[in-house]
Homo-oligomer: A and B are copies of this chain.
Amino acid sequence: MTGIATVRGERAARVAWARLTEPGDSGVAAQISAVGAEEALHAVGAETTLGQRMAERLAELDVDRDLAIARRLGARLVVPGDAEWPVGLDDLEAPPVCLWVLGGARLSDVTTRSVAVVGARAATGYGVHVAKELGAGLAERGFGVVSGAAYGIDGAAHEGALAVEGVTVAVLACGVDRPYPSGHAGLLRRVQVDGLVISEVPPGSAPTKWRFLSRNRMIATLTQGTVVVEAGLRSGSRNTARLADDHLRVVCAVPGPVSSAVSAGCHELVRGGAILVTDAAEVAEAVGPIGELAPRKEGAGQPGDDLEPNHRIVLAALPTRKPVTTEELARLSGLSSTEVRGALGALDLAGLARRHGEGWRRPPGR
């Protein structure tokens, strides 16, 4: 087709593909995969459906301008095969044809050990708090925190990572030059200092519903696991979780009150097999390499936990204030006086029983 024929080279061809088609098109991906981006581009027939679609956008095609804009922004183009290309994306049926990347980190490094923290825009104070804690805790554990820069959970996850000087990645549904949502322009500027702002659509592109869906599949596959913090029953985050699961990533969800509509999606995820998580350590355990175990939450040990049954029974019957006789303890515990005396001896040695004249009680503070 006119205008396309002049595009030369794989990188330029990928820029052209990104400009002329919508992301996530498996037909396009198959053709590029078969013969390479340049040859596939030149092979598109004007009479085909794809050719007709691309024709609508030919007026916008200017690869050199797209690359110049990116350079001016400080953004770099990353394509499959580049050292910085995040290999997780190759699991997609239709990987991005290219990525525009803005920021000080190296995308392939950050995403090698990374978690997506996503959730509702209309988050509650509870959800925002948990997302910040998770973002901070995961960053402290050396995970890149990947999210979508949306209001609510996404923004809180980025903020949490930034608060501990961690590395976070914002994956946008629009061009990296368009801070979206606009209220997060400042956040996105801070993200790209040590982290990254990335997109598969060219600079200047607006976010559309389709591009949000396509963006979600990137979040799901750039990372080794996705944590949904709050999500309504029809949330885009559940979509991200499903995509993560489809691509054999770990899916975690944070519980909340059953009366909260924005926890309902999380609860459905857990009922469907997602791992319930309550803190960053549990996420790290679920997502990280084997051996990264969260401490078991068994609560503090209580005196007597390791005693033999009879001794524990006597300990349970032993008052903390007014001392009781061994006969009284026998009656209370259902053991014989001989057994009670034996148990009291052991408890005395362990510092768990104290004699007072004819009676026994627990020592103060035990």
Contact = CB atoms under 8 A, between A and B. Distances in A.
A55 interface: yes
A259 B124 CA distance: 14
A302 B208 CA distance: 18
B56 A327 contact: yes
A366 interface: no
A189 interface: no
Number of copies: 2
A298 interface: yes
A316 B362 CA distance: 71
Interface stretch (A6-14, A192-200, A239-247, A272-280): A272-280
Nearest to A299: B233
Interface size class of A (residues with CB under 8 A): 35 or more
A298 B234 contact: yes
A87 interface: no
Interface in A214-267: 232-234, 254-259, 263-264, 267
Contacts of A126: 257, 259
A22 interface: yes
A334 interface: yes
A81 to B, nearest CB: 25
Interface of A: 21-22, 25, 49, 52-53, 55-57, 126, 129-130, 208-210, 232-234, 254-259, 263-264, 267-268, 270-271, 275-276, 278-279, 282, 297-300, 302, 313, 316-317, 327, 330-339
Interface pairs A-B: 9 shortest CB-CB: A22-B334, A255-B255, A233-B299, A52-B336, A209-B316, A258-B278, A234-B299, A53-B336, A56-B330
26 contacts: A21-B334, A22-B334, A49-B338, A52-B336, A53-B334, A53-B339, A55-B336, A56-B327, A126-B259, A208-B316, A208-B317, A208-B332, A210-B316, A210-B333, A233-B298, A233-B299, A234-B299, A234-B300, A255-B263, A255-B267, A255-B270, A255-B276, A256-B258, A258-B279, A271-B275, A271-B282
